[in-house]
Structure 1
Amino acid sequence: MKAALKGLKVLDFTQMMTGPFATMMLGDSGADVLKVEQPDGDPFRHSGETTLGGDGAFFLGVNRNKRSVVLDLKTEEGKAAALALAAQADVLIENFRPGLTDKAGLGYEELHKINPRLVYCSISGFGRTGPDRNRPALDMVIQAVSGVMQVTGTEESGPLKTGFPFSDLVTALIATIGILVALQARERMGEGQRVDLSMLDASIFSQVPRDVYFDLTGITPGRMGNQHWDIVPNNTYTTSDGRDIMIITINDKFWQILCDALGASELKTHPEFATKAARLANREQVDARLSEIFATRDLASWEQALSASGAIYGTVRTWPEVFSDEHVVNTLLKTLHHPKGGAFKVINNPLQFSGTPTQILRAPPMLGEHNAQVLTEAGVAWPPLDQ
């Protein structure tokens, strides 16, 4: 089967979540990812209470399709091996604190001299320059500093983090795009370059288009929970059996569709509800009336009515419901096998390519599993992926 990035050599010096997620994306499309770990291993191997075969569940979630090599960069032997691998790589990605790779002799300028075609991606928390460059950064810290937490939650709850590692993942996705752009530029110009990205910048960038709103008004968007500043209704409502449904009516047409689905056609012409402007002016009354209506029937009944009408809605599903859904089971879940811990499932790459589909061919590697394969007696080599 064809792979879009087959033959691409990626030297992965990253750890924890952000960098490993980016290199996993490259590996899913066929890139040969060598994960370089310190003797103690990626800290994610030991993170969390849930483990399988000695590796943490978080590590297993973002490190498939890679080979693991242990190098002690504090030793001359380890540095020499890293340089030898970098000379053969197409991409190097690192998320050390700024300046550490330079001290280790693995900075961009030095590696560019020995491998001008190398695409060198640096991911940091606060950027490589500026007063905060050496501050430690984790996802929730960046969510706080970037303003993401300021607009998440409700006025009653105060600022909240998102329910998933937003800053980690959005940074990884933008980094992957940056690497692919740099590789395309290399095809045209014949030379690699540095791709530099901070979690802070990526998280601030992700807040478009609210940036323009803030610039024009000077007003910080409010914390509105499940509501929307310009759409009413745009909220969750509880059914008689205690389930929640997300309802959105983007214009008057969908308001009328919703009213028919609810068996409340009189609301279509109600002066406080009939138009978008009226609904915005009477947000609390709209929410109160819809809450009363949804509380009269159970989830199954409402799903049937809403689906038949063409209303915009979505059940707030539980995780057991999501991961037992037929589409998810057949399309998005893949079973892997840990050498010491048995089977476990991961989420497949969601990108669907007609000619070069993504594949999961390797389970996350054991620490140093491929040392003998890569660090041969004849010197450090980069053996073919199929060995």
Structure 2
Amino acid sequence: MTTALKGLKVLDFTQMMTGPMATMMLADSGADVIKVEQPEGDPFRKSGETTLGGDGVFFLAINRNKRGITLDLKSDSGKEAARALAAGADVLVENFRPGFTEKVGLSYEELREINPRLIYCSITGFGHSGPDAKRPALDQIIQAMSGLMQITGTPESGPLKTGFPFSDLATALIATTGILTAMHARERTGEGQRVDLSMMDASIFSLVPRDVYFDATGKTPPLMGNEHWDIVPNNTYKTLDDRDIMIITINDKFWHILCEGLGASQLKTDPRFATKNARLNNRQACDAELAEIFATRTLAEWDQALSAVGAIYGPVRTWPEVFSDQHTVDNLLKTLEHPKAGTFKVINNPLQFSATPNEIVMAPPTLGQHNDTILTGGCGTAWQSGNV
């Protein structure tokens, strides 16, 4: 078996998270990704308080399966080397601030002259035009400005960011889709194209399906924490052993199933809760009834009881529980050997292919690790030396 993108040549000028995450997805599927860093390195190498072998763990988490070089794009030799690599690439991905690639001679317009088949993916914070185009963008800023924080949190907390870099991740996944879509188009036309995506646009897109709700009502969904404005119950409840369990009943059928699992059949016909509208109108009473019931048994006991009836629920698991789960250990964790960082585990690509499986074959590169093999002897032969 071979990987799906074996032979695809990707020139990666991205840094921090959203771009490197996208190119890592391509690399996992077999693309030969050359990560190009400035001489001082991707800022993510020094981001965060935890490092392994001198590199930040955030950098190590999203740069596997790539070869790495350093180029000073402000020097003539660096620009020349970058253009030579671009001439032989299938895909180029960059997330510089707008205007930088034009300054250094790496704009799409210039590179398509020497490589008409090039797919050029440009990721920005706010797009290439408008008053915000050149302002710096990080995940939390985009979450704030896109409206995501307005639907995350509680009335007491106020707007909150998500517990993970949602805007970075969403943008990376959409960018990967865009690159693969352009590759499919190139199969028909023989020509590359530019793929543009901003973190702001990707984050606003992720508000789906609340867009139609807002258009129809003019209302912003309220801050409700673990609750849902249109579903009751949709909340977490404390168990006897002070754990949390997430409960959702999307319709009356699943309300009845939940009541059976709780041993509280009387709630099925209680006029306050018997229908969806009744439960919405009596939200606090419903939550109070369920909170009292869930407090009578441990999480393990409720897990068994609710599983038996087919209720929609989930224990709120701790990270040690998640990362020691047998499925996670067997399918999603991969141990890498790094020349400086030693051994560490990463989360494997979750896509499962029957004929072209993803692979993790290389640890993230050290700074400039492949300068000799890629840059020595001319960039024209660099793509023939890939080992992914």
TM-score by length of 1: 0.99
Partner amino acid, structure 1, of 2:385: P
Kindly indicate whether the alpha-carbon contact (under 8 Å) linking 1:12 and 1:33 is maintained by their aligned counterparts in 2. Answer: yes
CA offsets per residue over residues 251-275 of structure 1, 9 Å max, x none?
Answer: 1111111111111111111111111
Tell me, yes or no, if structure 1 residue 280 matches structure 2 residue 280.
Answer: yes
For 2:57, the equivalent position in structure 1 comes to 57
Q: 1:380 to 1:75 in 2, by over 3 A?
A: farther
* Residues 1-387 of structure 1 aligned to structure 2 (within 5 Å): 1-378=1-378, 381-382=381-382, 383-386=384-387
**Deviation (angstroms), 1:372:** 0.3
Kindly indicate whether the alpha-carbon contact (under 8 Å) linking 2:32 and 2:387 is maintained by their aligned counterparts in 1. Answer: no
The separation in 1 between residues aligned to 2:186 and 2:207, in whole angstroms, is 30
SS at match of 2:167: helix
TM-score by length of 2: 0.98
CA offsets per residue over residues 168-202 of structure 1, 9 Å max, x none?
Answer: 00000000000000011011001000000000000
Aligned sequence identity (%): 74
Kindly indicate whether the alpha-carbon contact (under 8 Å) linking 2:29 and 2:359 is maintained by their aligned counterparts in 1. Answer: yes
SS at match of 2:219: coil
**Deviation (angstroms), 1:216:** 1.3
Partner amino acid, structure 2, of 1:102: E
SS at match of 1:381: helix
**Deviation (angstroms), 1:378:** 4.6
The separation in 1 between residues aligned to 2:303 and 2:377, in whole angstroms, is 65
SS at match of 2:154: coil
Kindly indicate whether the alpha-carbon contact (under 8 Å) linking 2:44 and 2:56 is maintained by their aligned counterparts in 1. Answer: yes
- When the two chains are superposed, the root-mean-square deviation of aligned CA atoms in Å is 0.9
Kindly indicate whether the alpha-carbon contact (under 8 Å) linking 1:65 and 1:361 is maintained by their aligned counterparts in 2. Answer: yes
The separation in 2 between residues aligned to 1:330 and 1:34, in whole angstroms, is 29
The separation in 1 between residues aligned to 2:29 and 2:267, in whole angstroms, is 51
CA offsets per residue over residues 279-330 of structure 1, 9 Å max, x none?
Answer: 1110000000000000111111111101111111000000000000000000
Q: 1:307 to 1:124 in 2, by over 3 A?
A: same
The separation in 2 between residues aligned to 1:2 and 1:78, in whole angstroms, is 34
SS at match of 1:327: helix
The separation in 1 between residues aligned to 2:71 and 2:119, in whole angstroms, is 21
**Deviation (angstroms), 1:139:** 0.1
SS at match of 1:323: helix
Kindly indicate whether the alpha-carbon contact (under 8 Å) linking 1:52 and 1:338 is maintained by their aligned counterparts in 2. Answer: no
Structure 2, unpaired ranges of 5+: none
Kindly indicate whether the alpha-carbon contact (under 8 Å) linking 1:233 and 1:283 is maintained by their aligned counterparts in 2. Answer: yes
Kindly indicate whether the alpha-carbon contact (under 8 Å) linking 1:21 and 1:62 is maintained by their aligned counterparts in 2. Answer: yes
CA offsets per residue over residues 13-36 of structure 1, 9 Å max, x none?
Answer: 000000000000000000000000
CA offsets per residue over residues 33-52 of structure 1, 9 Å max, x none?
Answer: 00000000001111111111
**Deviation (angstroms), 1:379:** 5.3
Kindly indicate whether the alpha-carbon contact (under 8 Å) linking 1:127 and 1:198 is maintained by their aligned counterparts in 2. Answer: yes
Kindly indicate whether the alpha-carbon contact (under 8 Å) linking 1:53 and 1:340 is maintained by their aligned counterparts in 2. Answer: yes
The separation in 1 between residues aligned to 2:310 and 2:216, in whole angstroms, is 36
The separation in 2 between residues aligned to 1:38 and 1:65, in whole angstroms, is 19
**Deviation (angstroms), 1:131:** 1.0
**Deviation (angstroms), 1:209:** 1.0
**Deviation (angstroms), 1:380:** 5.0
SS at match of 1:336: strand
Kindly indicate whether the alpha-carbon contact (under 8 Å) linking 1:336 and 1:345 is maintained by their aligned counterparts in 2. Answer: yes
CA offsets per residue over residues 144-179 of structure 1, 9 Å max, x none?
Answer: 000000110011110000000000000000000000
CA offsets per residue over residues 99-135 of structure 1, 9 Å max, x none?
Answer: 1001000000000000000000000000011111000
Provide the aligned length of Structure 1 versus Structure 2. 387
The separation in 2 between residues aligned to 1:211 and 1:63, in whole angstroms, is 34
**Deviation (angstroms), 1:386:** 2.4
Partner amino acid, structure 1, of 2:196: D
The separation in 2 between residues aligned to 1:189 and 1:378, in whole angstroms, is 30
Kindly indicate whether the alpha-carbon contact (under 8 Å) linking 2:373 and 2:385 is maintained by their aligned counterparts in 1. Answer: no
The separation in 2 between residues aligned to 1:122 and 1:355, in whole angstroms, is 31
Kindly indicate whether the alpha-carbon contact (under 8 Å) linking 1:81 and 1:380 is maintained by their aligned counterparts in 2. Answer: no
